[in-house]
Amino acid sequence: MTPDSTVVDRSLIKAQAYGLGFDLAGITTLGRATTAAAFDAWLARGYAGEMSYMARTSEKRTDSRRALDGLRSAVVVAMSYGGREPSGPVARYARGDDYHDVMLERLHALHAWIDARAGAHVPGKAYVDTGPILERDLARCAGLGWFGKNTMLINPRAGSFFFLGSLLLDLELEADAPFATDHCGSCTRCLDACPTGALVEPRVLDATRCISYLTIELKGAIPEELRPMIGELVYGCDVCQTCCPWNTRFATELQVPEFAPRDFLAMKDARQFARDLLLMTREEFSRAFKGSPMKRAKLRGLKRNAAVVLGNVGTQSDVELLERVRDEEPEEMVRKHAGWALDRLLMKSESPTRRFPG
């Protein structure tokens, strides 16, 4: 039986999406991305850094019809992860369960509902931040918001503290009107606030300077000149969102229980969290971070980041731990970052003549 588009009304699809817990929902027609030229230029400028998969899949990313043959429409959704919570060493989006899993479960449920409504299986594919598509482009085309100067998708009633997901379908659905206006005006708070100057111009991010990239995607050493700018941020960064007036006004309290901070983050400041990470074994890491998006950085990456944070916010009482890490940690990269941190603490100490070997 051929799926019947006429019985899968767009308003009912969006109502079902809201019923499943999504905060925004829109529909767009698949095709060449409106940002294709900008994306290609961004790659050409080297702003993707080590994220080579971006270039490998660029042809697919710039045309959403190539994700899977025969697909015609996309239901684009957003789910809030709060934004009112205090800042801390871990970006708000990564403090709870993996958002990929949380959202995919709901998108699959939406797909099953559409199948039942259409009276036959509707070929399709759900994506949450992992497929070769430009999610922000689809979301803007589906009417969910505009591209802020911080490169985030901003909704005029919800700000930007939300995840995006898409359900691509072999259905001809009436599309929503694209979001056509820009509400950033003359504001440059995000550009001015970025600790590393990663926002090189409005709506252009040099990922190789972004703290989220440096603490998550970068697999090697963090450039020394950028380490002090990371401050107390162990994983990710919220600065360009926290300072945005649209979030100041519209960010909400956390509503999704799965995104609540896990026990290992509760009531810990950056220094204590960094110490805990440097002392953590692989077995402890596997238990504590099971089902967490923070697993992406792996233990070696988190320890590297933790050493940098101790170099920035640590005290002389952290010297012994950093010396142990420098001398005994199996990962050379972590040892070198611990040596750098020791030098940083030395410069802040009362005995500037003593040097810590690195």
Show which residues are catalytic. 129
Short-list 101, 81, 86, CA closest to 158 = 81
Alpha-carbon span 151 to 282, nearest angstrom: 35
Separation of alpha carbons 66 and 64, rounded Å: 5
The string of DSSP codes covering 162-194 is EEEEEEEESS--PPPPPP-----TT--HHHHH-
- Summarize the chain as % helix, strand, coil (round to 5): 45, 10, 40
Greatest Cα pair distance, the chain, in angstroms, is: 81
The CA-CA-CA angle for residues 95, 61, 118, to 5°, reads 85
| Cα dist from 342 to 168, 173, 235, 315, whole Å | 51, 59, 21, 10
Q: Using alpha carbons only, how large is the chain's radius of gyration in Å?
A: 22
Rounded to whole angstroms, how far apart are CA atoms 308 and 226? 10
Q: Integer distance in angstroms from the first to the last C-alpha of the chain? A: 69
Strands (E) in the chain, as ranges, are 24-29, 73-80, 124-127, 146-147, 153-154, 162-169, 199-201, 204-205
Q: Which amino acid is at 173?
A: L
CB 142 within 8 A of CB 175: yes
Helix (H, G, I), strand (E, B) or coil at 281: coil
Q: Any idea what the Cα angle at residue 217 is, between residues 211 and 218, rounded to 5°?
A: 80
Burial annotation 180-194 (CB, 10 A radius, 16+ → b, else e): eeeebeebebbbeeb
d(CA 351, CA 62): 56
